[in-house]
Amino acid sequence: MLRCLLSAAILYLVLIQPNHPAAMTWGALTLFPLELPVILLALMALPARARVTVYGRGMLVAILMIIAVLKLADYATFLAYGRGFNPVVDLHLLPAAWRLGSGIVGMTVAILVAGAAVALVLAVTWALWWATGVWASVEPWGGRTRVRVALGSATVLACGVAIMEIGAARRAWDLPVRIPAAAFTARVGLERIEMARATFADLRLFSRAARSDRLAGVPGLFDRLDGRDVLILYIESYGRASFDVPFYAARHIETLRDAGAELERAGLAARSGWLTAPMVGGQSWLSHATLASGLWIPDQTRYRAYLASPRKSLYHLAQQAGYRTAAVMPAITYDWPEGPRMGFRQVLASRDLGYRGPPFNWVTMPDQFTLDAMERLLRADPSAPPLFAQVALVSSHAPWTPVPELLDWDSIGDGGIYVRWDGEGDAPEVVWADPDRVREQYRAAVDYALEVAFSYAAERAGGDPLLLIVGDHQTAPHISGSDSFDVPMHILGPPDVLRHLDGWGWTEGVVPPAEMPALPMDGFRDRFVGAFSSAAPDPVPDGQGL
């Protein structure tokens, strides 16, 4: 009896395992899993030690462990990205999580954590095998045939109850009474199967959309820019929380208002609004691709489909109009074959920027050095064709320690000046042990990135380029305190150039009002090209939606 109770408890705990941080409460222990009586009755109904029973147990343990791992993956992706795990498109997150995690807590701790996770999976697998074996070896009333038939009938009945609950939970039908239990694990497994089918169907639709392009081959684009440079500066993890969450807004809005005053003294105007990014928490390249392509790209599968398509990015269109195109990517430390496909004639990765200072943990170099190097390497020759560039500012990427200060632009040099911050402050594993410290460091890092970007616009950028300062995505919800996917965009330039944005409804200045509707990020490409091109077709206001 004790063995039966213990083995049933093991199955019970695996079946009620939550897949969302909000469900990780003591109340989860009160959820009765409808799969439990199905499993126990089925195991008792099968003949003990028969081959079919052994194979059935193996299949059952494999299914339960797959769903348990998927639940754990759900939990992690909800925590980091505010959404569930899609096994079709999200497997690439594993090496990315390893690189980030080992950078935050150190390689030794990361290896220990990974080893502990593998050991836990193996231990739970063994425990499930033992638990199913206990119930499969039960011989009710001497194993008589009529008893096994009765148990089989009870299994079918219990399975029917579970199916009724699943259908009611998925709104396929209504039940006259509420079942005080749930077949949650079975529902998670079913949802993953449907998710895979929907993902492949969605990919087929997306591939068709990527093959069509309203702007391909249109002559005379960007003629209203009068040959001035266009620089798109992405601020890592800069989202709506900087305006809506008091802890961040009190500091970031003040910084923006000070920056707005500096822009006015420099004779520059600003327009600001909201874009809805395709994700939160990470994978910045998906936002870069969405904004540039005019296609909704929330996952790696769509990203790869876009790269394989003939779709023209914003940078391809700029090339067509006679611009030099470039990407300044200080976080790129490996080969980046996607760069040319995105439309960049020149890619300045980490090793190309000439930085001689210390790395800031994961961050290869401070944002101020990145912009200073871009100015020297790409904009120093006044006789060169106009520049259309994407610049990734990564100082506000986790782990957010240490955070440098804004320096005099003439003192940057080769970055050696940043040696004063080498090893300053607490190590990432210390900071990340305290959630409040993490939020403080995140606030400081975004503030630094804002200071740098707007100081560059007011003091360092020559020739009055059109500057677009935009957040790539909101940081993880448990850090931001916000579940929004919206990010701010600030477009800076001479007042006579920004008048072409009058029809957008965006606010003058650098603080967009909270109630302003957000433009889906995939709608930006066509709208931007339309504003600065006299021959462009009318944009699709709400984005492609594909």
pLDDT at 6 over 80: yes
Residue 90 reports pLDDT greater than 80: no
Q: Is the pLDDT of residue 537 over 70?
A: no
Of the candidate ranges 33-47, 384-398, 409-423, the one whose mean pLDDT is the lowest: 33-47
- How far, in Å, CA of 400 to CA of 476, rounded? 13
The predicted-structure confidence for 212-260, as pLDDT tens digits, reads as follows 777 777 788 999 998 999 999 999 999 999 999 999 999 999 999 999 9
What is the model's pLDDT at position 506? 94
Domain assignments of the chain as residue spans, ordered by start = 2-199, 211-531
Owner of token pair 């003439």: 410
100 Cβ contact partners less than 8 Å away, ≥ 6 residues apart = 282, 362, 398
Mean pLDDT of 286-296: 92
- Quick one: what percent of the chain has pLDDT higher than 70? 94
Question: Would you list the DSSP string of 401-442?
Answer: -S------GGG-TTTGGGGGGTT-S--HHHHTTSHHHHHHHH
Long-range Cβ pairs for the range 169-178 (8 Å, 24+) = none
- pLDDT over 90, % of the chain: 42
Closest by CA to 135, choosing from 30, 16, 53, 59, is: 53
Pick from 306, 281, 309: which is nearest to 291 by CA?
Answer: 306
Q: Per-residue pLDDT tens for 109-160?
A: 778 888 888 898 899 999 999 998 888 888 766 556 777 788 888 888 888 8
Lowest mean pLDDT among 14-28, 55-69, 390-404: 14-28
Could you tell me which residue, 429 or 145, shows the higher pLDDT? 429
Place of tokens 């489909």: 305
- CA proximity to 198, closest of 306, 84, 308, 67: 84
Domain 211-531: homologous superfamily in CATH: Alkaline Phosphatase, subunit A (3.40.720.10)
* Confidence bin at 450 (pLDDT 50/70/90): very high
Q: Is the pLDDT of residue 93 over 80?
A: no
pLDDT at 125: 92
- Name the token pair of 333: 């430390």
pLDDT of 35 strictly over 70: yes
Q: CA–CA separation, 178 vs 180, rounded Å?
A: 6
Q: Give the chain's end-to-end CA distance (angstroms, integer).
A: 57
